[in-house]
Homo-oligomer: A and B are copies of this chain.
Amino acid sequence: MTAFLDLPADTAFGLDNLPYGVFSTQDDPSHRVGVRIGEHVLDLAYLETHGLIAAPEAGRAPVFHGTLNAFMALGKPSWDAVRGRLQDLLSADGPDDLRGSETHREAAFTPLAEVAMHLPATIGDYTDFYSSRQHATNVGTMFRGPENALMPNWLHLPVGYHGRASSVVVSGTDIVRPKGQQKPEDAPPVFGPSKLLDIELELGFFVGPGNDLGDAISIDDARDQIFGFVLVNDWSARDIQKWEYVPLGPFLGKNFATSISPWVVPSAALDPFRVAGEAQDESEGNPEPLAYLQQSGNRSLDIALEVHLETEAMRNDGTAPEVVSRSNAKYLYWSPEQQLAHHTVNGCNARPGDLMASGTISGETEDSYGSFLELTWRGSKPLAMPSGESRKFLADGDRVVLTGVAERDGTRIGFGEVEGTVVPAR
């Protein structure tokens, strides 16, 4: 499959990817759905209006205007049909409806550099899981010692909690340093800007049609319910979090901002990157999950993830951002399907556009941890920057960029990036 556009051979945004996003342009500030192909955005609202694509089951209602929620709601048969049609339209040897019309080509393609990206969906609810065993072990070890690192429930269910939907922001949004209560060891709490501002490297997914309240999504149906994936940076204020989180969980330490990448990589694009994941049975000394969580086939996704840090001094010097961690989504113990089946097994309803994130993804080695809390081991091992600076946690002016790419047999599926710069507390 070759695109009729001139793309580099190793592009991570070729016909095998085609991620969806919501964009606007200076000429047309309306929000509409696009797909990224190479360094261009293809306007699906334009194609829809001009009869070049139509989502089956949508009837006459426009699907690609505003947000992705309407398309997410249609379900996998529609997703597959639209994806197939787009691959055809963009192929060098496909139908020439788009390829053959200069008018359509000029109207439908916009260079990536000329678009503004927005949140891909109206997010009804945002849920954050805690599905990396190494991350849970690291945090548990720091706070409770190595013997009690994993809580008793951790290997039996995907631990998760409700996040804040209002403060999910698209990549590029500045992150205002949060203020809040911090508790010195032997003194009453004090109020001020967080001193322990951190990131969490996560993979998130958007829910498709969802389920009615009172019903559940079975583990076998879960895969077809997942529209696609984004990178997530779940910014965290460790000092605020530590004082507030017992007994009801993280709150103000998290809900000041969660950044996501603008391009939603379709589930179908990631199918070739499924890998087994750690066995959830006695063969690796793990308890077998209860039946509703037992997943057949390959459970994990092989997606290389990186954390890049650029301080203000580095930016001013023109020093490239430093890669401070290299992780991979395959390190997750609980899969997206298990997360979704668990979330709904009690009858909780998921809706199109709901966002669910994995929790911090940490590998087994120190250079693969997904948070500064772990990378600097609570600040005890500062990271040396090329600028001569060091970092325990984030300073004002620091810019963090998370990237993701799946790669196999010459095919590359890119996530692009989610980035944000820390600005001083107000």
Give chain A's interface residues, CB within 8 Å of chain B. Answer: 124-125, 130, 151-153, 156-157, 159-167, 169, 176, 178-181, 183, 188-191, 213-216, 237, 240, 243-252, 255-257, 287, 290-292, 342-343, 345-351, 354, 426
Contact = CB atoms under 8 A, between A and B. Distances in A.
Given A249-B249, A249-B250, A157 B345 contact: no
Contacts of A190: 290
Tell me the interface secondary structure of chain A in the complex.
loop
Contact of A426 (B181, B214, B246): B214
B345 A252 contact: yes
Contact of A349 (B161, B167, B349): B167
A351 B251 CA distance: 17
Nearest to A178: B346
Contacts of A347: 176, 178-179, 256-257, 426
A356 to B, nearest CB: 12
A216 to B, nearest CB: 8
Contacts of A345: 179-180, 252
Nearest to A156: B189
A178 to B, nearest CB: 4
Looking at A162, A191, A237, the one whose CB has the most chain B CB atoms below 10 A away is: A162
Contacts of A189: 153, 156-157, 290
Given A191-B290, A243-B153, A246-B153, A167 B426 contact: no
Contacts of A181: 153, 156-157, 290
23 contacts: A124-B165, A124-B166, A125-B165, A151-B246, A153-B189, A156-B189, A159-B248, A161-B248, A161-B251, A167-B213, A167-B349, A176-B347, A180-B345, A181-B290, A191-B292, A240-B346, A246-B247, A247-B249, A252-B342, A252-B346, A255-B346, A256-B347, A256-B348
Given A160-B251, A166-B351, A214 B176 contact: yes
Contacts of A348: 164, 166-167, 252, 255-256
Nearest to A247: B151
A166 B349 contact: yes
Contacts of A130: 248
Contacts of A162: 161-164, 251, 255
Contacts of A256: 213-214, 346-348
B169 A213 contact: yes
A153 B244 contact: yes
Given A191-B290, A257-B213, A292-B191, A180 B346 contact: yes
A342 to B, nearest CB: 7
A257 B347 CA distance: 9
